[in-house]
Amino acid sequence: MGSQWGKDKTYLKAKQSGYRSRAAMKLKEIIRRNPVIRPDDNILDLGAAPGSWLQVLRELTKGVIVGVDLNPITPMEGVITITGDFTDPAILARIRELMPEVNGIVCDASPKLSGQRSLDQARAIELNSQALNVARLVLKQGGNMIMKSFQGEDFSWLYNQIKLDFYSVRTYKAQTTRKGSTEMYIIAKNFIGNQPNPEEFSLDGSA
């Protein structure tokens, strides 16, 4: 990693600041430009490993912070971590036990990349769709969401789906995004609510 990122100013700044990855600097920039996390919000981080966003979130709010990832997350003070698939009903049940209410959701998750742009984008959109379905199940009415996605032929479909569930939706491309990347963040504010009964809802988006 040293040879790959040694001259990357964002990586070096993140490391010098004690963050686990350069992604921390992206979240700090996103929040500075889009202040959607309040000082007492309970935040759910989907795809949280290695935990740099959790570090930033702990600085932003005194609320409950829960991070979920398929890979184990090195423990940190003041943060609850869960190892598992966030689409698993058992994991969702655990989240509900830990969080009396969810005021915000962040998702910086990416699928395993194949190198084929169209395939990778399709996989990313599917992951985004699953995260959106989790939001529909656990996010409090009026809550906010930050989600990483990738531009491509299915991006407009995802964007329009999110617009059905939030009063305000916009895109944001971080200045720290690597050149040539199609990475794009979706900032969704003020969740409409009207959530379906969890017992009647499937995470594939069907009733």
116-145: average pLDDT: 93
Say which DSSP state 85 is in: -
Domain assignment present for 84: yes
Domain assignment present for 206: no
* 154 marked as binding residue: no
Q: Give the per-residue pLDDT at 200.
A: 41
Place 181 in a pLDDT band, splitting at 50, 70 and 90: confident
Domain assignment present for 53: yes
Domain assignment present for 205: no
Residues belonging to the active site: 148
Residue-wise pLDDT tens digits, 34-49: 999 999 999 999 999 9
- Structural domain of 28: 2-200
Q: Are 186 and 173 in contact (CB under 8 A)?
A: no
* Number of domains within the chain: 1
Q: What is the mean pLDDT of the chain?
A: 88
Buried b (16+ CB within 10 A) or exposed e, 113-126: eeeeeeebbbbbbe
Buried b (16+ CB within 10 A) or exposed e, 154-192: bbeebbebbeebbeebeebebebbeeeeebbbbbbbebe
* 165 marked as binding residue: no
Domain assignment present for 193: yes
Domain assignment present for 207: no
The residues that bridge with 186 in the sheet, in sequence order, are: 147, 171
- Asked whether residue 4 carries a pLDDT value surpassing 70, the answer given is no
Q: Give the per-residue pLDDT at 97.
A: 96
Q: Give the per-residue pLDDT at 51.
A: 96
* 63 marked as binding residue: no
Q: Give the per-residue pLDDT at 113.
A: 74
* 204 marked as binding residue: no
What CA dihedral angle connects 122, 125, 130 and 132, to 10 degrees?
A: -170
Domain assignment present for 138: yes
Domain assignment present for 10: yes
* 157 marked as binding residue: no
Give me the CATH number covering residue 156: 3.40.50.150
- Asked whether residue 3 carries a pLDDT value surpassing 50, the answer given is no
